[in-house]
Structure 1
Amino acid sequence: MRDLDWDGCRNIRDLGGLPTPLSPTGVTIEGRVARGPRRELLTDAGWTAARGWGLRSVVDLRNEGEIGRRETDPVVESLDALCIVHAPTEDQSHPEFQAVCMPILDSPEYWQHNLRILPGHVRGALAAIAGARPGILMHCSAGRDRTGMMSALLLANAGVSAEDILADYATSVRAMASTASHSAPTDDRQASWTPAQVDAWLAEVEPHVRAFVADIDETLDRLAVDVPTRRGLRDLLTESKDCSGTGNGRCAMAGRPRP
């Protein structure tokens, strides 16, 4: 099953198991990349489950001010060494990003603007994923918007259909609706939504998701993502051979990580 039971977190999901013609198995490979919300929500049992899944690397898409334990987060024991890479997709101090994206940060409508305004940030996040050791947790705050954008890029590059990418995004929206807000520094209006509001929202934003993944090669061209990175990201989700030795293990923090 794609849903992962890591205690403390909802909306944790393996990007494996989705149909693609680019994989010899016919589906994206499980155990390579997981998507989710802020890792500080994980309990000791959650970290144990994550290691059992094969977690080796974390690519954190958040802004620096969002990182760290909050008072309501669980206290966990020290963890085994884990490669944690900080690769923010945003710069909320950027004037155009503030004006254009900040009002719609909970909508996939902002994804195209993020790529246009801050291509280097998105390109850097893709490179961080390509360079990480497989068994990667990719996450932001709620695991829905920034993580949704990056998941859409990874899945489209791996040959997954727009329909399945849209369904993956919708799963995260449904998972995080009517929950405590995990967003910082902006308010998360979806935290109070009813199922009916979620259904209406998904119908409204569906065209934005479909447009975003319509031509992945053109998108990666605009981002100036080089061929080795594209190939590495595609192989990560489509090559059935063992890739445990791939990735250059670039870490923002070595040794014992903070939880």
Structure 2
Amino acid sequence: MTTLEWDGYLNARDLGGFPTALSSTGETRFGRIARGPRRERLTETGWQDARAWGLASIVDLRCAHEVGQGEGDHVIADDVFEGIAIVNSPTEDQNDPEFWEACAPILDSPEYWAHNWQMQPQLVRGALDSIASSAPGTLVHCSAGRDRTGMISALILGNAGVDPHAVGEDYATSVHAMAHITTHAPGAELDEARSPAEVDEWMIDKLPIVHDTAARAHEIFDLLEVSIATRAALRRLLIAE
């Protein structure tokens, strides 16, 4: 995994360089898909950094009420976004009372992932379709770039044949990166900061869920009724044949 140094942005990585036997190069391709937190954290220099990486499209996994500038965000001129396709494709409907009752206490954990794709499969599938149809050089993000982005990253990396333990390391990197950040979206409740030791302890029973998600990606895609065309497009984005 490669950390992306985009000004004002943290917890951003290129999904290239992961080991996979499906690629002729033995690893996933760089410059195709990046993962990160809310794009409003980027400074104008950060947007320039992202363009230099090859940013062409953004798939935003957040609910509509989470999108927009918050306190402390940078004011960015409209022309900075010119030529970048931005698609809002939320993975969850937080207004669904059944989903909210089941998932609200665990939205900061992969424990909710299976609830999400079982209760709202059309939304998770829609996000995957959006990534598959986006121009290469795609930033996939939510608010923290950790949980929703972690779920989608685990699925697309699993679909590309990446070793599940490497996927788990990627998720752990995001949890550590955001452990000291107490707010991830405008108006959201404050999270509790965690020390590295607390993060490691917390992840003991969480990483097996991430490993299982990547290992069972094809089975989960079946459950979500992801089309063969979307699966193939996602794979082409990440592997050289």
Distance 1:184 1:224, change over 3 A: farther
Corresponding residue for 2:4? 4
Corresponding residue for 1:21? 21
One-letter identity of the residue aligned with 1:165: V
Distance 1:201 1:183, change over 3 A: farther
- Kindly report the root-mean-square deviation, in angstroms, between the aligned alpha carbons of the 2 structures: 1.3
Corresponding residue for 1:140? 142
How many angstroms apart in 2 are the aligned matches of 1:185 and 1:107? 20
Q: CA deviation at 1:188?
A: 5.3
Query: Is this contact kept in 2: 1:36–1:142, CA < 8 A?
Result: yes
Q: CA deviation at 1:71?
A: 2.6
Query: Is this contact kept in 1: 2:70–2:185, CA < 8 A?
Result: no
Query: Is this contact kept in 2: 1:158–1:234, CA < 8 A?
Result: yes
Question: What SS does the aligned partner of 1:213 have?
Answer: helix
Corresponding residue for 1:251? none
Q: Which moved more, 1:109-118 or 1:212-221?
A: 212-221
Q: CA deviation at 1:26?
A: 0.5
Distance 1:188 1:18, change over 3 A: farther
**Runs of 4+ that moved beyond 6 A:** none
Residue segments in structure 2 that go unaligned for 5+ positions in a row: none
Q: CA deviation at 1:239?
A: 2.4
Q: CA deviation at 1:186?
A: 5.0
How many angstroms apart in 1 are the aligned matches of 2:222 and 2:163? 19
Per-residue deviation, residues 131-180 of structure 1 (Å, max 9, x unmatched): 00000000000000000000000100000011000000000000001123
Corresponding residue for 2:182? 180
Question: What SS does the aligned partner of 2:87 have?
Answer: strand
Per-residue deviation, residues 41-89 of structure 1 (Å, max 9, x unmatched): 1001100000000000000000000111113101223312210011000
Question: What SS does the aligned partner of 1:92 have?
Answer: coil
How many pairs align? Answer: 239
How many angstroms apart in 1 are the aligned matches of 2:220 and 2:187? 28
Corresponding residue for 1:155? 157
Distance 1:181 1:71, change over 3 A: closer
Residue segments in structure 1 that go unaligned for 5+ positions in a row: 241-259
Q: Which moved more, 1:69-78 or 1:134-143?
A: 69-78
- Going by fraction, where is helix more abundant, 1 or 2? 2
How many angstroms apart in 1 are the aligned matches of 2:203 and 2:226? 29
One-letter identity of the residue aligned with 1:68: G
